[in-house]
Amino acid sequence: MGDYIRDLRALKVRAGQPSLQELQRRSGIARSTLSDALSPRRRELPRLEVCLALVRACGVRAREEARWRERWQQIAEARDAGRPAPRADESASAVHTGTAPRQLPYAVRHFTGRTRELNRLDELMADRRTSCGAVVISAIAGTAGVGKTTLALHFAHQVADRFPDGQLFANLRGFDPAADPVAAADVARGFLDALGVPGHRIPADPEGQLVPHRATFARS
């Protein structure tokens, strides 16, 4: 059971560390219930409907959701029969599929306007350094509430197919009234996990995790 909860927590990291408030909005499950389901001290398997609502809120697709359901049922059956719970690497429903990370949160469904800004962002996309695969790092600035995040997410979804190796996202929670800001080291570790870097190849010190050449990335 502990493996299942640990993997739920890892899924939340791969989804970009959405806050409990955001997960509640996406899933319709109370924050206290989600917090309890994700607690590392939890010893009982959360209810199936809570687990599935949580994985859907983290953006998994139907096929992966089915694996989460199957694995939950296997653990529950083993518990009821008094058998040890199957390990994730022994189960046909292991959730680590080796697929590219897809961490973008949901975009606004009915987005209008910002044509000039979208065209400018598209122009910046063309300034790619093909020799090394790098692109210009861009920032969207503006006063609070003008729609910076909405614009960024809308454009990111528009161009996601240009980044087949995956998309990373981190909510730094700089102005979140319900949670403290996220440390850079926590974001870096979440990105490394999402990109499939084996744990033994990730530097133990937080500063080392922020240096690209010190971690060996796994490629499928």
- Check residue 130 and give its pLDDT: 54
pLDDT of residue 132: 59
pLDDT reported for residue 103: 76
Low-confidence ranges of the chain (pLDDT < 50): 88-97, 213-220
pLDDT of residue 219: 41
pLDDT of res. 96: 45
- Token pair listed for 204: 């133990």
Tokens coding 147: 């729609």
Q: Which residues have a Cβ under 8 Å from the Cβ of 116 and sit 6 or more positions away?
A: none
Distance separating alpha carbons of residues 44 and 58, to the nearest angstrom: 21
What Cα–Cα distance (Å) separates residue 92 from each residue in 66, 74, 83, 88, 143? 11, 10, 17, 8, 49
